[in-house]
Amino acid sequence: MPEQPSPRFHEAKIRVRFAETDQMGVVYHSNYLIWMEVGRVEYCRARGMRYRDLEAEGVLLTVVEAHCRFIAPAKYDDEVIVRTWVEQANPRMVLFAYEITEAESAKVLATGVTKHFFCGKDGKLRKLPAEHMALFELD
């Protein structure tokens, strides 16, 4: 995590669902990857672009790598905050970083990154069109 987070992050709020828990009484770990997806979709929306529109234009973000550190368990009905920012980007790749906290206590639950390549509807790699550079801080 950067010591001075960029002001360009976005925070998405998520209420933990019962379906997301497991028999250890906490959130099953794969759900954090889904929350990160929510985080980057809301990051895009907050910057003026719906990911669905990007996709309709033929710009898809395929996930090529994911890393997550699970620090403290999220619990049923907690409100969690997914803070999302672009850690690194170029016209072929974007690396999103995330910090997930429990809203009430501000306790950090998890941190993670996901690396994406831009690709077309055919699944082939492509360069990000110039008009979308700003979305990923490439302006």
Shorter beta-carbon distance to a copy of itself: residue 113 or 138: 113
Of the residues 22, 77, 78, 139, which is catalytic? 22
The CB-of-110 to a copy of itself minimum distance in angstroms stands at 10
Distances 103 to 6, 57, 85 between C-alpha atoms, Å = 20, 35, 18
The CB-of-129 to a copy of itself minimum distance in angstroms stands at 19
Shorter beta-carbon distance to a copy of itself: residue 71 or 130: 71
Collapsing DSSP to helix, strand or coil, 111 comes out as: strand
The CB-of-114 to a copy of itself minimum distance in angstroms stands at 8
| Alpha helices per DSSP H over the chain | 31-46, 51-56
Spatial neighbors of 27 by CB under 8 A, at least 6 apart, are 16, 20, 21, 73, 74, 75, 76
Is residue 22 among the annotated active site residues? Answer: yes
Shorter beta-carbon distance to a copy of itself: residue 9 or 32: 32
Closest by Cα among 26, 27, 16, 43 to 97: 43
Hey, how many other C-beta atoms are within 10 angstroms of the C-beta on 1? 11
- Enumerate binding residues for a copy of itself (CB under 8 A): 15, 17-19, 21-26, 28-31, 33-34, 37-38, 41, 50-52, 60, 62-71, 73, 76-77, 123
* Residues designated catalytic: 22
